[in-house]
Structure 1
Amino acid sequence: MPDTFPRPVAAIILAAGQGTRMKSTLHKVLHPLAGRPMLLHLLASVDGLAPAAKVIVVGAGREQVEAAVIRSGAGVVVQQPQLGTAHAVQQAESALAGFDGDILILYGDVPLVETATMRRMLDALTGDVGAVVLGFRPVDPAAYGRILAHDGIIERMVEYKDASEAERAVTLCNSGLLAIRAADLWPLLARVGNDNAAGEYYLPDIVGLASSASRVIETDAAEVAGINSRAELAAVEGAWQARRRAAMMTAGVSLIAPETVWFSYDTTIASDVSIEPNVWFGPGVSVATGARIRANCHIEGAVIGEKVEVGPFARLRPGTVLDARSKVGNFVEIKNAHLDVRAKVNHLSYIGDAEIGADTNIGAGTITCNYDGFFKYRTNIGAGAFIGSNSALVAPVTIGAGAIVAAGTVLTSDVEPDALALARPQATRKPGWAARFRSAMIARKTS
C-alpha cells in the first residue's frame, strides 16, 4: 500500500536529455526495460508514495512522453533551451504552483530506484536538514560528480569536470536524486549560477547554497544505474534479469539454464514450476504451481494453470488461458483462446479465438480459421471432443461435446454433440499410372 507522509510529496522527473547516443526516433526514457518503458518503471515506484503531483520535464519528444504517461496522472513540461539540471527543475515550478510539501527530484533514465529508497530520502528530510542527496559507490567512479561528506553531512559537492585530483579520488558519487522542501527549492534555484566548466546551471549547487546542512544517504550502484546508450540499456537489462532469476529460484522455481530465461517486469511464477532453456516471457504472464515450460517457448499475455505442460517450441500469445493439466505441445501457437482442464493440443496447430472444452484432443495440423481478412470469429469446442489431424475449422463454428471431426476435414458448419463430422473428398485411383509416368520422365530426361 502507498505510504502516507506527514507532508504531501511531489516528484519532478528530468527527461530532457537529447538521448543522441541511443540513435533512435523513440524518446530515450521510453525504451523498454524488462518489457516496460523505463520511465514507467520509475513512475510505478513513485506511485508507491501516493504523490500529490508528478511532473516530467522533457526537451524534444513531448508528444511521445505525454502519450506514454496519459494514464499515470503525470504532467509534462518542456525545457527549451536546455541549460543544465537546475534550469530543468525550474521548468516545473509553474506546474507545482501552490504545492507546499516535499519534492523528490528523479531522472527518467535512472529507472530502477525503488519506492523504499525514495521513502528513506523523505524520512531523512527532517528537522534542520536542508536537502537529502542519494549517493552511491560504483566500482569505477568514472566521471560522476563527487560528494564530500562527514558523518553523512555534506561538506561539498562537485562535478567531475570541476573537481581537483584530490576530489576525484573520493569514491562517494552523486546519483543526482534529491529530496528537498518546496519552500526551499525555488528560492535556491533562483540563486544558482553557471560559473563552471560547462557554463550550465547545476542542480547540486543548491546544496552549497542552502542555509541548513544537507545529508547524504547511500544506496547500491545498481539501483541508480543510468541509461544513455543501447549498450547501457542492455547492461541494465542483463543485471535486472540476473536479479529476477535469482529471486525466482529462491522462491522455488527451477531454471535449468537460468541465463537463457528472460522475464518481464510483471512475470508471476509460483513455486515448483520448471522452466527449461531458452524461454522468453513477455508482459502479462502468470504460471501456477507444478507447471512445466519446456525449451524454446515464447510466452506473453498468458495465464498458465497448475501442472500445465507447454512446449517445446510453443508460442502463447495474449489472451491465452490454459487450465489445470492441459497441454500445449511443440510447434503450437495459441492466441486469445481458453483450454479447459486436461485439453490437449500436442503439436503443429494454430488455435486462435477459441474455447476448447475439458478433455478435448486437438490433432496435429489443426487450424482454427478465425480471420476472413476483415473480422475475427470464434471456434467453440465442447468437452471430450476429438479433432482429427489436419482439420480446418472455419469459424464461426461450434462443435458439440463428445463429437469427432475426422482427419482432413474442412468444417464450415456446426457439429452436434457426439456426432461424426467428415468432409473429405473421395480418393481417385489410376492403376499403373505412376509406373508409366516414371518411364516417360526417364525417357525424356535421357533423350
Structure 2
Amino acid sequence: MQRVTNQALFQHLDKTIASVLFEENTYPWEVLPKIHDFILEVGMLLSKEEYDEVKEHVWVAKSATVAPTAFINGPAIIGPEAEIRHCAFIRGNAIVGEKAVVGNSTELKNVILFDRVQVPHYNYVGDSILGYKSHMGAGSITSNVKSDKKLVEIRIGDYKIETRMKKVGAMLGDYVEVGCGSILNPGSIVGRHTNIYPLSSVRGYVDAHSIYKKRNEIVPKDEY
C-alpha cells in the first residue's frame, strides 16, 4: 500500500544519515533488521574530526551533549548537536539524528531517529522509526511485541501486510506529534503531520494530516 511506504511517510530523507536504507527498501519495517550492520559499516567511515568513537562501535559527534549518567551500548551513532540527557538508556542498534533529544530515563533499542526528533521524557522506543521532527510526549511508548507473541501484521483497515517479524514497534512519519501517556501498539503506522491525543492506544494505520482522538474518532486536520 502506497500510504505506508518510505516515500509516503518520510519526505525528508536528507535528514538522516541512514537515507540509503529507506531508498533501497519499500517499507520502513524492512529497514529494522539492517540497522545493526549499517551502523557498523558507516561508523568506520565517519570523520574523526567530527566524531569520537567513545567506546567500541559507539560513535558520538563532538558537538553532541551526553550526560555522564547516560548509557550507550553499541552499535550506535549519535549525530551532531544531539542531546542525550540524564539516565537515558540506549541499548544498541540506534541512530540518533542531528539535534535530536533523548531524554531522562528514555530507552532506545533498534531504532532510527531522524534529525530533530524528540523523545524527551520517560519514553520507550524499540524496533521503531521516527521521522523528521516527530515528537513523543512524556510517558508515551512504542510496544514492539504482541501479547500472543505472534508475528506482527501491518493493518490498514481490513487490509493487512505480513511483516514476518516478531518485533515491530511504530513507524512515525515526519512531524508526527504523540500525546503524553499514549501507547503505540506493535505495527502502528502514523502518517505525516498527524497528532495523537494524550492517553491514546493506537493500532494499525492512521492517515496523514489527521487528529487521532480515539480508535473510531479520527478526523482530518482541515475539518477540525
Task: Give the TM-score taking structure 2 as reference length.
Answer: 0.63
Extract structure 1 runs of 4+ deviating beyond 3 A: 268-274
Q: Which amino acid aligns with 1:328?
A: V
CA distances 1:41-81 after superposition (whole Å, capped 9, x unpaired):
xxxxxxxxxxxxxxxxxxxxxxxxxxxxxxxxxxxxxxxxx
State yes or no: 1:397 paired with 2:176: no
Q: Which amino acid aligns with 2:172?
A: I
State yes or no: 1:322 paired with 2:96: yes
Distance 1:339 1:404 in 2: 18
CA distances 1:69-104 after superposition (whole Å, capped 9, x unpaired):
xxxxxxxxxxxxxxxxxxxxxxxxxxxxxxxxxxxx
Indicate the structure with greater strand content.
2
Distance 1:347 1:330 in 2: 5
Q: Which residue in the other structure is 2:61 paired with? A: 288
Q: Which residue in the other structure is 1:339 paired with? A: 113
CA distances 1:207-233 after superposition (whole Å, capped 9, x unpaired):
xxxxxxxxxxxxxxxxxxxxxxxxxxx
Q: Give the Å deviation of 1:407.
A: 0.3
Q: Which residue in the other structure is 1:423 paired with? A: 214
CA distances 1:192-249 after superposition (whole Å, capped 9, x unpaired):
xxxxxxxxxxxxxxxxxxxxxxxxxxxxxxxxxxxxxxxxxxxxxxxxxxxxxxxxxx
State yes or no: 1:299 paired with 2:98: no
> Identity percentage over the alignment?
26
State yes or no: 1:380 paired with 2:204: no
Q: Which of the numbers 118, 123, 131 marks the counterpart of 1:357?
A: 131
Distance 1:339 1:393 in 2: 16
Distance 2:62 2:68 in 1: 18
Q: Give the Å deviation of 1:354.
A: 0.7
Contact 1:270-1:287 within 8 A present in 2 as well:
no
Q: Give the Å deviation of 1:289.
A: 2.7
Contact 2:122-2:139 within 8 A present in 1 as well:
yes
Q: Which residue in the other structure is 2:197 paired with? A: 406
Structure of higher RCO (CA pairs closer than 8 Å, 6+ residues apart): 2
CA distances 1:271-313 after superposition (whole Å, capped 9, x unpaired):
6889xxxxxx664210123001013111012111111100111
- Rg larger for: 1
Instruction: Point out where structure 1 has 5 or more consecutive residues left out of the alignment.
Output: 1-265, 275-280, 425-447
Distance 1:326 1:363 in 2: 14
Task: Give the TM-score taking structure 1 as reference length.
Answer: 0.32
Contact 1:269-1:288 within 8 A present in 2 as well:
no
Q: CA RMSD in A?
A: 2.5
Q: Which amino acid aligns with 1:384?
A: Y
Count of residue pairs the alignment pairs up: 153
Indicate the structure with greater helix content.
1
